[in-house]
Amino acid sequence: MILEESFYDMPPVKRGRRGVSDADDEDDDYRRKRDRNNEAVKKSRFKSKQRTQETFTRVSKLKAENQMLEEKVKTLTKELQFLKELFLAHASNAQNPKFDGIDLNKLLEDIPDDKDSKSK
Protein backbone atom coordinates (compact mmCIF):
# COMPACT_ATOMS: atom_id res chain seq x y z
CA MET A 1 0.00 0.00 0.00
CA ILE A 2 2.80 2.44 0.78
CA LEU A 3 4.40 1.74 -2.57
CA GLU A 4 1.17 2.64 -4.40
CA GLU A 5 0.81 5.98 -2.61
CA SER A 6 4.35 7.02 -3.39
CA PHE A 7 3.84 5.99 -7.02
CA TYR A 8 0.93 8.41 -7.33
CA ASP A 9 2.84 11.23 -5.68
CA MET A 10 5.64 11.08 -8.24
CA PRO A 11 5.64 13.59 -11.11
CA PRO A 12 4.93 12.17 -14.58
CA VAL A 13 7.99 11.10 -16.52
CA LYS A 14 8.34 11.81 -20.23
CA ARG A 15 9.13 8.67 -22.12
CA GLY A 16 10.16 8.13 -25.69
CA ARG A 17 13.13 8.22 -27.96
CA ARG A 18 13.51 11.98 -27.84
CA GLY A 19 16.49 13.52 -26.24
CA VAL A 20 16.32 16.23 -23.60
CA SER A 21 16.84 19.04 -26.14
CA ASP A 22 13.93 17.82 -28.30
CA ALA A 23 11.58 17.94 -25.31
CA ASP A 24 12.74 21.46 -24.46
CA ASP A 25 12.18 22.59 -28.06
CA GLU A 26 8.66 21.15 -28.01
CA ASP A 27 7.95 22.82 -24.67
CA ASP A 28 9.17 26.13 -26.10
CA ASP A 29 7.02 25.68 -29.22
CA TYR A 30 4.03 24.79 -27.08
CA ARG A 31 4.59 27.82 -24.84
CA ARG A 32 4.90 30.13 -27.86
CA LYS A 33 1.71 28.74 -29.36
CA ARG A 34 -0.12 29.10 -26.05
CA ASP A 35 1.13 32.69 -25.65
CA ARG A 36 0.06 33.57 -29.18
CA ASN A 37 -3.32 31.96 -28.61
CA ASN A 38 -3.78 33.80 -25.31
CA GLU A 39 -3.02 37.12 -27.02
CA ALA A 40 -5.42 36.29 -29.84
CA VAL A 41 -8.16 35.45 -27.33
CA LYS A 42 -7.58 38.71 -25.43
CA LYS A 43 -7.73 40.68 -28.68
CA SER A 44 -10.88 38.86 -29.80
CA ARG A 45 -12.64 39.44 -26.47
CA PHE A 46 -11.68 43.12 -26.49
CA LYS A 47 -13.05 43.56 -30.02
CA SER A 48 -16.24 41.74 -29.05
CA LYS A 49 -16.76 44.00 -26.02
CA GLN A 50 -16.04 47.04 -28.17
CA ARG A 51 -18.59 45.96 -30.81
CA THR A 52 -21.15 45.30 -28.08
CA GLN A 53 -20.58 48.77 -26.62
CA GLU A 54 -20.83 50.40 -30.05
CA THR A 55 -24.07 48.52 -30.73
CA PHE A 56 -25.48 49.60 -27.36
CA THR A 57 -24.57 53.23 -28.07
CA ARG A 58 -26.13 53.06 -31.55
CA VAL A 59 -29.32 51.50 -30.16
CA SER A 60 -29.57 54.27 -27.56
CA LYS A 61 -29.12 56.97 -30.19
CA LEU A 62 -31.68 55.37 -32.50
CA LYS A 63 -34.21 55.03 -29.67
CA ALA A 64 -33.82 58.71 -28.84
CA GLU A 65 -34.12 59.68 -32.51
CA ASN A 66 -37.19 57.46 -32.90
CA GLN A 67 -38.86 59.05 -29.89
CA MET A 68 -38.14 62.52 -31.26
CA LEU A 69 -39.59 61.56 -34.66
CA GLU A 70 -42.70 60.08 -33.05
CA GLU A 71 -43.26 63.36 -31.19
CA LYS A 72 -42.82 65.25 -34.46
CA VAL A 73 -45.39 63.00 -36.15
CA LYS A 74 -47.86 63.67 -33.33
CA THR A 75 -47.31 67.43 -33.59
CA LEU A 76 -47.67 67.46 -37.38
CA THR A 77 -50.77 65.26 -37.21
CA LYS A 78 -52.41 67.67 -34.76
CA GLU A 79 -51.43 70.61 -36.95
CA LEU A 80 -52.87 68.91 -40.03
CA GLN A 81 -56.13 68.17 -38.23
CA PHE A 82 -56.38 71.79 -37.09
CA LEU A 83 -55.75 73.08 -40.62
CA LYS A 84 -58.34 70.71 -42.05
CA GLU A 85 -60.93 71.94 -39.56
CA LEU A 86 -59.98 75.55 -40.24
CA PHE A 87 -60.29 75.01 -43.99
CA LEU A 88 -63.68 73.31 -43.66
CA ALA A 89 -64.96 76.08 -41.41
CA HIS A 90 -63.79 78.75 -43.83
CA ALA A 91 -65.04 76.97 -46.93
CA SER A 92 -68.48 76.20 -45.51
CA ASN A 93 -69.02 79.76 -44.19
CA ALA A 94 -67.73 81.58 -47.24
CA GLN A 95 -70.01 82.46 -50.07
CA ASN A 96 -67.16 81.69 -52.42
CA PRO A 97 -68.14 80.33 -55.83
CA LYS A 98 -64.87 78.41 -56.00
CA PHE A 99 -66.28 75.83 -53.56
CA ASP A 100 -69.70 75.45 -55.19
CA GLY A 101 -70.36 71.88 -56.27
CA ILE A 102 -67.31 70.49 -54.46
CA ASP A 103 -67.78 67.97 -51.70
CA LEU A 104 -65.21 69.31 -49.25
CA ASN A 105 -65.39 66.24 -46.99
CA LYS A 106 -64.70 64.02 -49.99
CA LEU A 107 -61.80 66.28 -50.96
CA LEU A 108 -60.21 65.95 -47.52
CA GLU A 109 -60.69 62.17 -47.32
CA ASP A 110 -57.46 61.70 -49.25
CA ILE A 111 -55.54 63.39 -46.44
CA PRO A 112 -55.16 60.97 -43.53
CA ASP A 113 -56.11 62.37 -40.17
CA ASP A 114 -54.91 61.25 -36.75
CA LYS A 115 -57.31 58.28 -36.63
CA ASP A 116 -56.13 56.95 -40.01
CA SER A 117 -52.44 57.16 -39.16
CA LYS A 118 -52.88 55.10 -35.99
CA SER A 119 -54.59 52.24 -37.82
CA LYS A 120 -51.71 51.77 -40.27
Note the pLDDT tens digit of each residue in 65-113.
999 999 999 999 999 999 988 888 877 776 666 666 667 677 677 665 5
pLDDT category of residue 15 using cuts at 50, 70 and 90: low
Which tops the pLDDT comparison, 118 or 55? Answer: 55
DSSP string, 6-70: HHHHSPP---SS--HHHHHHHHHHHHHHHHHHHHHHHHHHHHHHHHHHHHHHHHHHHHHHHHHHH
Q: How do the domains of the chain map onto residue ranges?
A: 19-119
Q: Answer yes or no: are the C-beta atoms of 114 and 78 closer than 8 Å.
A: yes
Confidence check: pLDDT of 51 > 80: yes
pLDDT category of residue 42 using cuts at 50, 70 and 90: very high
